[in-house]
Amino acid sequence: MLKNSLQALFVLVLSICTLAWAQDYPARSITMIVPFAAGGPTDTLARNLGAILTTTLKQQVIVDNAGGAGGTIGINKVAKARNDGYTLLLMHVGMSTAPAMYSSLPYDTLNDFEYIGQVADVPMTLIGKKALPPNNFKELLPYLKANQDKLTAADAGLGAASQLCGLLFMSAIQTKLLVVSYSGTAPAMTNLIGGQVDLLCDQTTNTTQQIKAGTVKVYGVTSRQRIPSLKDIPTLAEQGLKDFEVVVWHGLYAPKGTPKPVLDKLIAALQGAVQNPTFKARLEELGAEPVPLSKANPESLRTQLQAEIKKWDPIFKKAGVHAD
Ligand code: ASP
């Protein structure tokens, strides 16, 4: 009896302390883990989001790049981090492709995280090094087929959006290029510009500037519709790859067990960010867009992640893609 009362008292005190502590949140800077190299598309999205969250939460949101293994190293870092709201994860569609690609992961995708909400949708572009002979998509296809044993496609490892796009593209044109993997598409882009690799499928948040500056050749966009900021570039679908569509969705996560009042503050801050005109304008310039408010919540992210895991799993099993 006494033991039960003491236990109840202990639980009560603990929840009062947690509530009081959560009310002060955030009392120091927050780390947002980006599971890819600095300077790439996820990093760019995270830094733009981080700037808005910093203003809303009145504490610095610092981006920490933990690249490697298609993002799974950084994801695992967050799964194992303290669940106090001071470590967050920004990750894209790879959260849903990795479970099918790796026969074992060091974290449990559906059970090791709290969901904050969806963040933004980013289309991709198929680009090539400047010295690649084909000047357009029509010329590209026969060239790739004729030279597939000599050409290389860059990506950011199994689980990366660039790998997903490359895989779907090669399967659509029934051509297999040699893949060179990096810790993110920022270093992949450096090597593409340097001419060490030939092709790359990457998000517009990393490619728009290069396309506009003419440092790379562009062969098409992967969204269903053309992108307003790159309106002269046709979609791959309209150039003959029927139904080809890759749009990179992103979510914001926290380690499992992060207190609810803390999550509520983060959800509210994310909802403010997706409606923020500066954030919207910046993403638009980069060919992307924040999600509508209706998607910036935990339920929407959970539903999206579950649906995408179901979608990709049979596709990769069929393609026989596996890291180990
Ligand atoms: N988004 C990754 C990056 O930021 C690369 C990828 O997913 O392809 O580098």
Q: Which atom of ligand 1 is nearest to the CA of 165?
A: 8
Q: Tell me, in angstroms, the distance from the centre of ligand 1 to residue 231's CA.
A: 23
Residue whose Cα lies nearest atom 1 of ligand 1: it is: 42
Separation of alpha carbons 16 and 235, rounded Å: 55
The pLDDT assigned to 28 comes to: 98
Q: Are residues 219 and 313 in the same domain?
A: no
In a domain? residue 16: no
Q: Tell me, in angstroms, the distance from the centre of ligand 1 to residue 237's CA.
A: 22
Q: Which atom of ligand 1 is nearest to the CA of 186?
A: 9
Which DSSP state fits 45?
A: H
Q: Are residues 160 and 214 in the same domain?
A: yes
Q: Tell me, in angstroms, the distance from the centre of ligand 1 to residue 173's CA.
A: 23
Q: Are residues 106 and 27 in the same domain?
A: yes
Q: At what angle do helices 72-79 and 94-101 cross, to 10 degrees?
A: 100
The pLDDT assigned to 17 comes to: 61
CA angle 122/223/153 to nearest 5° reads 80
Best substitution site from 75, 206, 222 to test ligand 1's pocket, by max atoms within 8 Å of Cβ? 206
Residues with CB under 6 A from ligand 1: 36-37, 40-43, 92, 94, 156, 160-162, 184-186
Q: How many helices (H) and strands (E) does the chain have?
A: 11, 10
CA angle 178/211/71 to nearest 5° reads 50
In a domain? residue 236: no
In a domain? residue 241: no
Q: Are residues 145 and 59 in the same domain?
A: no
Q: E-strand spans in 130-269?
A: 152-155, 178-181, 199-203, 216-221, 247-255
Domain with 133, as residue range(s), is 123-230
The pLDDT assigned to 12 comes to: 66
In a domain? residue 10: no
Q: Which atom of ligand 1 is nearest to the CA of 159?
A: 7
Residue 65: enclosing H or E segment and its boundaries? strand 61-65
Q: Is 174 exposed, middle or buried (0-12, 13-18, 19+ CB in 10 A)?
A: exposed
Q: Tell me, in angstroms, the distance from the centre of ligand 1 to residue 163's CA.
A: 9
Residue 295: enclosing H or E segment and its boundaries? none
CB atoms < 10 A from the CB of 173, how many? 18
Q: Tell me, in angstroms, the distance from the centre of ligand 1 to residue 314's CA.
A: 23
In a domain? residue 211: yes
Largest pairwise CA distance in the chain: 82
Alpha-carbon separation of residue 304 from 37, 95, 108, 201, 279 (angstroms) = 25, 11, 16, 23, 22
Best substitution site from 42, 210, 250 to test ligand 1's pocket, by max atoms within 8 Å of Cβ? 42
In a domain? residue 135: yes
Per-residue pLDDT of the chain (324 residues; tens, 9 = 90+): 566 766 766 666 666 666 666 789 999 999 999 999 999 999 999 999 999 999 999 999 999 999 999 999 999 999 999 999 999 999 999 999 999 989 899 999 999 999 999 999 999 999 999 999 999 999 999 999 999 999 999 999 999 999 999 999 999 999 999 999 999 999 999 999 999 999 999 999 999 999 999 999 999 999 999 999 999 999 999 999 999 999 999 999 999 999 999 999 999 999 999 999 999 999 999 999 999 999 999 999 999 999 999 999 888 877 777 666
The domain that holds 170 is classified in CATH as 3.40.190.10
Residue whose Cα lies nearest atom 9 of ligand 1: it is: 184
Question: Cis link prior to 26 (omega < 30° from 0)?
Answer: yes
Q: Are residues 113 and 252 in the same domain?
A: yes
Alpha-carbon separation of residue 111 from 79, 115, 203, 314 (angstroms) = 9, 10, 28, 21
Q: Are residues 134 and 219 in the same domain?
A: yes
**pTM (predicted TM-score):** 0.92
Q: Are residues 257 and 226 in the same domain?
A: no
Residue pair 218/227 in contact (Cβ under 8 Å)? The answer is no
Domains contained in the chain, number: 2
Q: Tell me, in angstroms, the distance from the centre of ligand 1 to residue 247's CA.
A: 13
Q: Are residues 114 and 255 in the same domain?
A: yes
Q: Are residues 50 and 72 in the same domain?
A: yes
In a domain? residue 2: no
Best substitution site from 92, 97, 205 to test ligand 1's pocket, by max atoms within 8 Å of Cβ? 92
Q: Are residues 153 and 296 in the same domain?
A: no
Separation of alpha carbons 17 and 195, rounded Å: 58
In a domain? residue 149: yes
Q: Are residues 92 and 153 in the same domain?
A: no
223 is written with which tokens?
């969204």
Best substitution site from 32, 33, 34, 36 to test ligand 1's pocket, by max atoms within 8 Å of Cβ? 36
Residues 6+ apart with CB under 8 A from 244: 168, 169, 172, 222, 235, 236, 237
Q: Are residues 42 and 187 in the same domain?
A: no
Q: Is 253 exposed, middle or buried (0-12, 13-18, 19+ CB in 10 A)?
A: buried
Q: Tell me, in angstroms, the distance from the centre of ligand 1 to residue 263's CA.
A: 26
The domain that holds 45 is classified in CATH as 3.40.190.150
Q: What share of the chain is helix, strand, coil (3-state, %, to 5)?
A: 45, 20, 35
